[in-house]
Amino acid sequence: MATVKFYLRTKLDKLAPVYLRMTDTGGVNFIVKTPFKMVPAYWNAKKQTCKDNILDTEIFTKEDAKKIEDRFTELKDKILYESFELKGPVTLEWLNETVNKYFNKDAPKVETLRQYIDRFYNEAKAGTRLASAGNTKRRYAYETLRSLKGTKLSFEMFEDETGRKSNFNDITIDWYNDFLAFYYKRGCGANYIGKHIKNLKTIMRQAREEGLHNNTEIERRSFKALSEPSESIYLTEKEVAAMYAKDLSDNAVYAKVRDVFLCGVYTAQRYSDYSRINKDMIKEEDGVRYIELIQQKTGEKCLIPMRPELETILSRYDYTLPKTFEQKINFNIKEVGKLCDIKEGIVTETFKSGMKVKKTTPKYKLIKTHTARRTGCTLMYLAGVQPIDIMKVSGHKTEREFLKYIKVGKKETAMNLARHPYFLGNPLSVAK
Protein backbone atom coordinates (compact mmCIF):
# COMPACT_ATOMS: atom_id res chain seq x y z
CA MET A 1 0.00 0.00 0.00
CA ALA A 2 1.28 3.45 -0.98
CA THR A 3 1.95 6.00 1.77
CA VAL A 4 2.43 9.77 1.90
CA LYS A 5 4.36 11.50 4.68
CA PHE A 6 5.56 15.03 5.39
CA TYR A 7 8.84 16.03 7.01
CA LEU A 8 11.39 18.83 7.51
CA ARG A 9 15.09 18.57 6.57
CA THR A 10 16.44 21.13 9.03
CA LYS A 11 16.20 21.94 12.71
CA LEU A 12 17.39 25.53 12.35
CA ASP A 13 15.22 28.17 14.04
CA LYS A 14 13.76 29.70 10.91
CA LEU A 15 10.99 29.06 8.44
CA ALA A 16 11.81 25.84 6.66
CA PRO A 17 10.19 24.14 3.64
CA VAL A 18 8.09 21.03 4.20
CA TYR A 19 8.90 18.01 2.03
CA LEU A 20 6.54 15.29 0.88
CA ARG A 21 7.72 11.68 0.62
CA MET A 22 5.59 9.17 -1.24
CA THR A 23 6.41 5.46 -0.97
CA ASP A 24 4.78 3.35 -3.68
CA THR A 25 3.54 -0.22 -3.28
CA GLY A 26 6.98 -1.52 -4.30
CA GLY A 27 8.71 0.41 -1.52
CA VAL A 28 10.29 3.05 -3.80
CA ASN A 29 10.49 6.58 -2.37
CA PHE A 30 9.76 9.78 -4.27
CA ILE A 31 10.47 13.14 -2.65
CA VAL A 32 9.21 16.60 -3.65
CA LYS A 33 9.37 20.00 -2.02
CA THR A 34 6.04 21.63 -1.17
CA PRO A 35 5.29 25.37 -0.85
CA PHE A 36 4.49 24.81 2.86
CA LYS A 37 6.85 26.48 5.31
CA MET A 38 6.94 26.36 9.08
CA VAL A 39 9.15 26.80 12.15
CA PRO A 40 10.99 23.51 13.00
CA ALA A 41 10.42 24.07 16.73
CA TYR A 42 6.67 23.80 16.09
CA TRP A 43 6.94 20.57 14.08
CA ASN A 44 5.65 17.25 15.44
CA ALA A 45 7.69 14.68 13.52
CA LYS A 46 5.69 11.74 14.83
CA LYS A 47 2.31 13.17 13.79
CA GLN A 48 3.78 14.89 10.68
CA THR A 49 2.04 18.16 11.48
CA CYS A 50 2.21 21.19 13.76
CA LYS A 51 2.46 20.79 17.50
CA ASP A 52 -0.54 21.62 19.65
CA ASN A 53 -0.76 24.87 21.63
CA ILE A 54 1.84 26.81 19.66
CA LEU A 55 2.45 30.50 20.35
CA ASP A 56 1.83 33.19 17.76
CA THR A 57 4.97 34.82 16.36
CA GLU A 58 5.67 37.39 13.66
CA ILE A 59 6.55 34.67 11.14
CA PHE A 60 4.14 31.89 12.15
CA THR A 61 0.72 31.87 13.82
CA LYS A 62 -1.90 29.40 15.08
CA GLU A 63 -3.96 30.25 11.99
CA ASP A 64 -1.02 29.29 9.75
CA ALA A 65 -0.77 25.98 11.61
CA LYS A 66 -4.47 25.22 11.11
CA LYS A 67 -4.26 25.99 7.38
CA ILE A 68 -1.24 23.72 6.96
CA GLU A 69 -2.86 20.86 8.83
CA ASP A 70 -5.98 21.07 6.65
CA ARG A 71 -3.95 21.26 3.44
CA PHE A 72 -1.78 18.31 4.48
CA THR A 73 -4.82 16.07 4.81
CA GLU A 74 -6.35 17.28 1.56
CA LEU A 75 -3.12 16.91 -0.45
CA LYS A 76 -2.39 13.46 0.97
CA ASP A 77 -5.89 12.21 0.06
CA LYS A 78 -5.58 13.64 -3.45
CA ILE A 79 -2.23 11.94 -4.12
CA LEU A 80 -3.32 8.55 -2.78
CA TYR A 81 -6.60 8.64 -4.74
CA GLU A 82 -4.96 9.64 -8.03
CA SER A 83 -2.17 7.08 -7.61
CA PHE A 84 -4.86 4.38 -7.19
CA GLU A 85 -6.47 5.51 -10.44
CA LEU A 86 -3.12 5.86 -12.22
CA LYS A 87 -2.61 3.62 -15.23
CA GLY A 88 1.05 2.66 -14.87
CA PRO A 89 3.72 3.04 -12.19
CA VAL A 90 4.18 6.10 -9.99
CA THR A 91 7.02 8.33 -11.22
CA LEU A 92 8.68 11.41 -9.84
CA GLU A 93 7.39 13.42 -12.80
CA TRP A 94 3.82 12.36 -12.03
CA LEU A 95 4.18 13.25 -8.34
CA ASN A 96 5.66 16.66 -9.15
CA GLU A 97 2.88 17.36 -11.58
CA THR A 98 0.18 16.26 -9.09
CA VAL A 99 1.56 18.40 -6.24
CA ASN A 100 1.99 21.45 -8.44
CA LYS A 101 -1.50 21.10 -9.93
CA TYR A 102 -2.83 21.17 -6.38
CA PHE A 103 -1.12 24.51 -5.82
CA ASN A 104 -1.94 25.73 -9.36
CA LYS A 105 1.72 26.03 -10.25
CA ASP A 106 3.65 24.97 -13.33
CA ALA A 107 5.65 21.85 -12.68
CA PRO A 108 9.37 22.64 -12.31
CA LYS A 109 11.91 21.02 -14.61
CA VAL A 110 13.02 17.64 -13.32
CA GLU A 111 16.76 17.24 -12.76
CA THR A 112 18.50 15.10 -15.39
CA LEU A 113 21.02 12.38 -14.56
CA ARG A 114 23.86 14.47 -15.98
CA GLN A 115 22.83 17.41 -13.79
CA TYR A 116 22.53 15.14 -10.77
CA ILE A 117 26.02 13.64 -11.28
CA ASP A 118 27.42 17.17 -11.51
CA ARG A 119 25.57 18.23 -8.35
CA PHE A 120 26.59 15.02 -6.56
CA TYR A 121 30.27 15.67 -7.24
CA ASN A 122 30.12 19.38 -6.35
CA GLU A 123 28.29 18.69 -3.08
CA ALA A 124 30.77 15.95 -2.18
CA LYS A 125 33.67 18.29 -2.94
CA ALA A 126 32.13 21.12 -0.88
CA GLY A 127 31.40 18.78 2.04
CA THR A 128 27.63 19.30 1.94
CA ARG A 129 27.15 15.69 0.81
CA LEU A 130 28.79 13.19 3.15
CA ALA A 131 29.94 9.61 2.68
CA SER A 132 28.86 6.75 4.90
CA ALA A 133 31.62 5.33 7.10
CA GLY A 134 30.22 2.57 9.30
CA ASN A 135 27.58 4.13 11.52
CA THR A 136 28.80 7.68 10.88
CA LYS A 137 29.01 10.19 8.05
CA ARG A 138 32.15 12.02 6.98
CA ARG A 139 33.54 14.04 4.09
CA TYR A 140 34.60 12.22 0.96
CA ALA A 141 38.31 11.41 0.84
CA TYR A 142 40.56 13.02 -1.75
CA GLU A 143 40.96 9.77 -3.72
CA THR A 144 37.20 9.27 -3.86
CA LEU A 145 36.60 12.84 -5.03
CA ARG A 146 39.17 12.39 -7.76
CA SER A 147 37.47 9.15 -8.83
CA LEU A 148 34.02 10.81 -8.84
CA LYS A 149 35.34 13.65 -10.98
CA GLY A 150 36.68 11.09 -13.44
CA THR A 151 33.27 9.39 -13.58
CA LYS A 152 31.55 12.71 -14.18
CA LEU A 153 33.89 13.52 -17.08
CA SER A 154 33.64 9.98 -18.52
CA PHE A 155 29.84 10.10 -18.45
CA GLU A 156 29.84 13.51 -20.16
CA MET A 157 32.29 12.33 -22.83
CA PHE A 158 30.14 9.26 -23.52
CA GLU A 159 27.06 11.43 -23.95
CA ASP A 160 28.75 14.13 -26.01
CA GLU A 161 30.51 11.79 -28.44
CA THR A 162 27.59 9.39 -28.92
CA GLY A 163 24.97 12.15 -29.06
CA ARG A 164 22.71 10.37 -26.59
CA LYS A 165 21.06 11.97 -23.55
CA SER A 166 20.93 9.35 -20.83
CA ASN A 167 18.46 9.95 -18.03
CA PHE A 168 17.84 7.89 -14.90
CA ASN A 169 15.50 5.41 -16.56
CA ASP A 170 17.84 5.03 -19.55
CA ILE A 171 20.50 3.27 -17.47
CA THR A 172 19.77 -0.27 -18.60
CA ILE A 173 21.82 -3.34 -19.56
CA ASP A 174 21.84 -2.08 -23.15
CA TRP A 175 23.23 1.27 -21.96
CA TYR A 176 25.83 -0.60 -19.87
CA ASN A 177 26.99 -2.66 -22.87
CA ASP A 178 27.22 0.47 -25.05
CA PHE A 179 29.27 2.25 -22.35
CA LEU A 180 31.69 -0.69 -22.15
CA ALA A 181 32.04 -0.90 -25.93
CA PHE A 182 32.64 2.86 -26.16
CA TYR A 183 35.58 2.81 -23.76
CA TYR A 184 36.97 -0.55 -24.88
CA LYS A 185 37.17 0.92 -28.40
CA ARG A 186 39.36 3.70 -26.94
CA GLY A 187 41.76 1.19 -25.45
CA CYS A 188 40.61 1.55 -21.83
CA GLY A 189 41.09 -1.36 -19.47
CA ALA A 190 38.54 -3.19 -17.36
CA ASN A 191 39.64 -1.52 -14.12
CA TYR A 192 39.19 1.95 -15.60
CA ILE A 193 35.71 1.16 -16.90
CA GLY A 194 34.76 -0.82 -13.79
CA LYS A 195 35.67 2.09 -11.51
CA HIS A 196 33.24 4.39 -13.31
CA ILE A 197 30.48 1.77 -13.37
CA LYS A 198 30.93 1.30 -9.62
CA ASN A 199 30.68 5.06 -9.02
CA LEU A 200 27.67 5.36 -11.31
CA LYS A 201 25.87 2.61 -9.37
CA THR A 202 26.55 4.48 -6.13
CA ILE A 203 25.19 7.70 -7.65
CA MET A 204 22.11 5.95 -9.04
CA ARG A 205 21.36 4.37 -5.64
CA GLN A 206 21.65 7.76 -3.92
CA ALA A 207 19.32 9.32 -6.48
CA ARG A 208 16.82 6.50 -5.98
CA GLU A 209 16.89 7.05 -2.22
CA GLU A 210 16.15 10.72 -2.86
CA GLY A 211 13.11 9.76 -4.88
CA LEU A 212 14.45 10.86 -8.27
CA HIS A 213 13.76 7.54 -10.00
CA ASN A 214 12.73 3.93 -9.40
CA ASN A 215 15.11 2.26 -11.88
CA THR A 216 16.63 -0.96 -10.46
CA GLU A 217 18.51 -2.14 -13.57
CA ILE A 218 21.85 -1.48 -11.88
CA GLU A 219 21.07 -4.23 -9.33
CA ARG A 220 21.07 -6.95 -12.00
CA ARG A 221 24.00 -9.38 -11.75
CA SER A 222 25.03 -8.62 -15.33
CA PHE A 223 25.34 -4.90 -14.51
CA LYS A 224 28.66 -5.42 -12.75
CA ALA A 225 31.70 -3.29 -12.14
CA LEU A 226 34.43 -5.02 -14.12
CA SER A 227 37.84 -5.62 -12.61
CA GLU A 228 41.05 -7.42 -13.49
CA PRO A 229 44.12 -8.26 -11.45
CA SER A 230 46.50 -5.33 -11.57
CA GLU A 231 50.23 -5.59 -11.10
CA SER A 232 50.53 -3.97 -7.69
CA ILE A 233 54.17 -4.20 -6.70
CA TYR A 234 56.00 -3.72 -3.45
CA LEU A 235 59.63 -2.77 -2.85
CA THR A 236 61.95 -5.18 -1.07
CA GLU A 237 63.74 -4.27 2.15
CA LYS A 238 66.93 -3.93 0.09
CA GLU A 239 65.27 -1.57 -2.40
CA VAL A 240 63.78 0.57 0.37
CA ALA A 241 67.19 0.76 2.07
CA ALA A 242 68.80 1.80 -1.23
CA MET A 243 66.22 4.55 -1.71
CA TYR A 244 66.72 5.77 1.88
CA ALA A 245 70.53 5.85 1.53
CA LYS A 246 70.61 7.46 -1.94
CA ASP A 247 72.35 10.83 -1.96
CA LEU A 248 69.92 13.25 -3.64
CA SER A 249 71.44 16.46 -2.34
CA ASP A 250 71.90 17.70 -5.92
CA ASN A 251 68.16 17.46 -6.64
CA ALA A 252 65.85 19.03 -4.04
CA VAL A 253 62.69 17.83 -5.82
CA TYR A 254 63.79 14.20 -5.89
CA ALA A 255 64.93 14.40 -2.25
CA LYS A 256 61.56 15.74 -1.08
CA VAL A 257 59.60 13.21 -3.15
CA ARG A 258 61.74 10.35 -1.81
CA ASP A 259 61.25 11.48 1.79
CA VAL A 260 57.45 11.80 1.49
CA PHE A 261 57.24 8.41 -0.24
CA LEU A 262 59.33 6.68 2.43
CA CYS A 263 57.09 8.14 5.14
CA GLY A 264 54.33 6.19 3.42
CA VAL A 265 56.44 3.02 3.57
CA TYR A 266 57.33 3.40 7.26
CA THR A 267 53.76 4.27 8.30
CA ALA A 268 51.86 1.93 5.89
CA GLN A 269 49.27 4.65 5.28
CA ARG A 270 47.48 5.97 2.20
CA TYR A 271 48.94 9.04 0.48
CA SER A 272 46.03 11.18 1.72
CA ASP A 273 47.14 10.35 5.27
CA TYR A 274 50.94 10.08 5.20
CA SER A 275 51.31 13.25 3.13
CA ARG A 276 49.75 15.37 5.89
CA ILE A 277 51.86 14.16 8.84
CA ASN A 278 52.72 17.07 11.11
CA LYS A 279 54.25 17.73 14.54
CA ASP A 280 50.81 17.74 16.22
CA MET A 281 50.50 14.04 15.35
CA ILE A 282 53.74 13.11 17.12
CA LYS A 283 53.10 11.62 20.55
CA GLU A 284 55.34 10.12 23.25
CA GLU A 285 54.50 7.86 26.16
CA ASP A 286 56.86 5.91 28.42
CA GLY A 287 59.75 6.77 26.13
CA VAL A 288 57.95 5.41 23.05
CA ARG A 289 57.40 7.86 20.19
CA TYR A 290 54.56 7.28 17.74
CA ILE A 291 52.32 9.00 15.22
CA GLU A 292 48.60 9.29 15.92
CA LEU A 293 46.39 10.08 12.95
CA ILE A 294 42.78 9.72 11.86
CA GLN A 295 42.48 8.15 8.41
CA GLN A 296 40.53 10.40 6.06
CA LYS A 297 38.88 7.59 4.12
CA THR A 298 37.71 5.44 7.04
CA GLY A 299 37.82 7.70 10.09
CA GLU A 300 39.92 5.02 11.77
CA LYS A 301 42.42 6.13 14.44
CA CYS A 302 45.88 4.63 13.81
CA LEU A 303 48.86 4.64 16.19
CA ILE A 304 52.13 4.10 14.30
CA PRO A 305 55.41 3.39 16.12
CA MET A 306 58.22 5.73 15.07
CA ARG A 307 60.88 3.77 13.18
CA PRO A 308 64.40 5.39 13.37
CA GLU A 309 64.45 6.09 9.62
CA LEU A 310 61.06 7.77 9.88
CA GLU A 311 62.28 9.88 12.80
CA THR A 312 65.30 10.99 10.76
CA ILE A 313 63.19 11.96 7.74
CA LEU A 314 60.61 13.87 9.76
CA SER A 315 63.29 15.75 11.68
CA ARG A 316 64.50 17.23 8.37
CA TYR A 317 61.18 19.05 8.06
CA ASP A 318 60.59 19.91 11.71
CA TYR A 319 58.13 16.97 11.85
CA THR A 320 55.74 18.52 9.31
CA LEU A 321 56.02 17.05 5.82
CA PRO A 322 56.20 19.57 2.95
CA LYS A 323 53.09 19.95 0.82
CA THR A 324 53.20 18.41 -2.62
CA PHE A 325 50.85 17.03 -5.26
CA GLU A 326 50.24 13.33 -5.66
CA GLN A 327 50.76 13.58 -9.43
CA LYS A 328 54.16 15.15 -8.79
CA ILE A 329 55.09 12.30 -6.43
CA ASN A 330 53.95 9.66 -8.94
CA PHE A 331 56.01 11.21 -11.73
CA ASN A 332 59.23 11.82 -9.81
CA ILE A 333 59.33 8.70 -7.60
CA LYS A 334 59.78 6.64 -10.76
CA GLU A 335 62.89 8.64 -11.57
CA VAL A 336 64.15 8.15 -8.02
CA GLY A 337 63.55 4.41 -8.41
CA LYS A 338 65.54 4.42 -11.64
CA LEU A 339 68.44 6.20 -9.93
CA CYS A 340 68.31 3.54 -7.18
CA ASP A 341 68.61 0.81 -9.83
CA ILE A 342 65.17 -0.69 -9.16
CA LYS A 343 65.00 -2.17 -12.65
CA GLU A 344 63.75 -5.74 -12.24
CA GLY A 345 61.50 -6.72 -15.17
CA ILE A 346 57.89 -7.16 -14.07
CA VAL A 347 55.49 -9.07 -16.36
CA THR A 348 52.17 -7.26 -16.43
CA GLU A 349 48.82 -8.24 -17.92
CA THR A 350 46.30 -5.69 -19.13
CA PHE A 351 43.17 -5.70 -21.24
CA LYS A 352 43.11 -3.49 -24.29
CA SER A 353 39.86 -3.35 -26.22
CA GLY A 354 38.77 -6.44 -24.30
CA MET A 355 41.90 -8.42 -25.27
CA LYS A 356 44.57 -9.61 -22.79
CA VAL A 357 48.02 -8.14 -23.45
CA LYS A 358 51.26 -9.14 -21.70
CA LYS A 359 54.38 -7.02 -21.45
CA THR A 360 57.52 -6.68 -19.33
CA THR A 361 58.05 -3.37 -17.54
CA PRO A 362 61.00 -2.16 -15.43
CA LYS A 363 59.92 -2.16 -11.79
CA TYR A 364 60.70 1.53 -11.22
CA LYS A 365 58.07 2.49 -13.83
CA LEU A 366 55.36 0.85 -11.70
CA ILE A 367 56.17 2.73 -8.47
CA LYS A 368 53.47 5.15 -7.34
CA THR A 369 52.21 6.70 -4.10
CA HIS A 370 50.16 3.64 -3.12
CA THR A 371 53.22 1.40 -3.56
CA ALA A 372 54.46 2.91 -0.30
CA ARG A 373 51.51 1.64 1.76
CA ARG A 374 51.59 -1.81 0.15
CA THR A 375 55.34 -2.01 0.71
CA GLY A 376 55.02 -1.07 4.38
CA CYS A 377 52.35 -3.70 5.05
CA THR A 378 54.16 -6.42 3.11
CA LEU A 379 57.56 -5.84 4.72
CA MET A 380 56.06 -5.89 8.21
CA TYR A 381 54.37 -9.19 7.37
CA LEU A 382 57.59 -10.70 5.99
CA ALA A 383 59.42 -9.51 9.12
CA GLY A 384 57.09 -11.67 11.21
CA VAL A 385 54.75 -9.01 12.57
CA GLN A 386 51.36 -10.58 13.24
CA PRO A 387 48.62 -9.57 10.74
CA ILE A 388 46.30 -8.40 13.52
CA ASP A 389 49.02 -6.00 14.75
CA ILE A 390 49.76 -4.71 11.24
CA MET A 391 46.05 -4.10 10.70
CA LYS A 392 45.94 -1.85 13.77
CA VAL A 393 48.62 0.27 12.12
CA SER A 394 47.30 0.15 8.54
CA GLY A 395 43.59 0.42 9.36
CA HIS A 396 42.51 -2.73 7.46
CA LYS A 397 39.21 -4.05 8.87
CA THR A 398 39.55 -7.81 8.33
CA GLU A 399 42.44 -10.26 8.09
CA ARG A 400 41.03 -11.59 4.82
CA GLU A 401 41.07 -8.09 3.34
CA PHE A 402 44.60 -7.55 4.61
CA LEU A 403 46.02 -10.84 3.26
CA LYS A 404 44.55 -10.09 -0.18
CA TYR A 405 46.17 -6.66 -0.06
CA ILE A 406 49.78 -7.57 0.74
CA LYS A 407 51.99 -8.82 -2.09
CA VAL A 408 53.58 -12.03 -0.88
CA GLY A 409 54.18 -14.73 -3.47
CA LYS A 410 54.91 -18.43 -2.97
CA LYS A 411 58.66 -17.85 -3.18
CA GLU A 412 58.64 -15.14 -0.50
CA THR A 413 56.43 -17.33 1.70
CA ALA A 414 58.83 -20.29 1.34
CA MET A 415 61.90 -18.17 2.09
CA ASN A 416 60.19 -16.67 5.10
CA LEU A 417 59.09 -20.04 6.42
CA ALA A 418 62.63 -21.37 6.02
CA ARG A 419 63.67 -19.11 8.90
CA HIS A 420 60.90 -20.43 11.17
CA PRO A 421 62.09 -22.63 14.12
CA TYR A 422 60.12 -25.57 12.72
CA PHE A 423 62.11 -25.59 9.48
CA LEU A 424 65.34 -24.96 11.35
CA GLY A 425 64.83 -28.23 13.21
CA ASN A 426 63.08 -27.27 16.40
CA PRO A 427 63.98 -30.05 18.88
CA LEU A 428 60.36 -30.19 20.05
CA SER A 429 59.32 -31.30 16.59
CA VAL A 430 61.69 -34.28 16.50
CA ALA A 431 60.12 -37.58 17.57
CA LYS A 432 61.85 -39.31 20.44
* pLDDT tens digit sequence for 269-323: 999 899 999 999 999 999 899 999 998 877 888 999 999 999 999 999 999 999 8
Write out pLDDT tens, residues 7-66. Answer: 887 766 677 888 888 988 878 788 888 888 888 888 888 888 888 777 777 777 778 788
Domain positions in the chain: 3-102, 113-219, 237-417
Distance CA 136, CA 52 (A): 34
Write down the pLDDT at residue 307.
93
pLDDT digits (tens, 9 = 90+) for 65-75: 888 888 888 89
Whether residue 281 contacts residue 304, with contact meaning beta carbons closer than 8 Å, is answered with no
Question: Is pLDDT at 409 greater than 70 in this prediction?
Answer: no
Q: What is the pTM of this model?
A: 0.57
For residues 48 and 354, which has the higher predicted lDDT (pLDDT)? 48
pLDDT tens for 256-275 read 999 999 999 999 999 989 99
Q: 358-367: string of b/e by CB count within 10 Å (b at 16+)? A: eeeeebbebb
Residue 427 confidence class, pLDDT cut points 50, 70, 90: low
Percent of the chain scored above 70 by pLDDT? 89
Please give the distance of CA 84 from its chain centroid, rounded to a whole number. Answer: 40
Instruction: Please name which of 307, 306, 328 lies closest in space to residue 258, comparing C-alpha atoms.
Output: 328
pLDDT at site 87: 79
Judge whether residue 349 has pLDDT over 70: no
Core vs surface per residue 185-218: b (16+ CB within 10 A) or e:
eeebbbebbbbbbbbbbbbbeebbeebbbbbebb
237-417 CATH, one of 3.40.50.150, 1.10.3720.10, 3.40.120.10, 1.10.443.10: 1.10.443.10
Residue 430: what pLDDT?
45
**Fold category of 113-219 in CATH:** DNA polymerase; domain 1 (1.10.150)
Q: Give residue 432's pLDDT.
A: 42
- Per-residue pLDDT tens over the stretch 371-391: 999 999 999 988 888 888 999
Q: What is the mean pLDDT of residues 233-238?
A: 92
Cα–Cα distance measured from residue 26 to residue 6, given in angstroms and rounded to the nearest whole number: 19
Q: In this structure, what DSSP letter does residue 40 have?
A: G
Chain mean pLDDT for the chain: 85
pLDDT of residue 417: 67
What is residue 107's predicted lDDT score, i.e. its pLDDT? 53
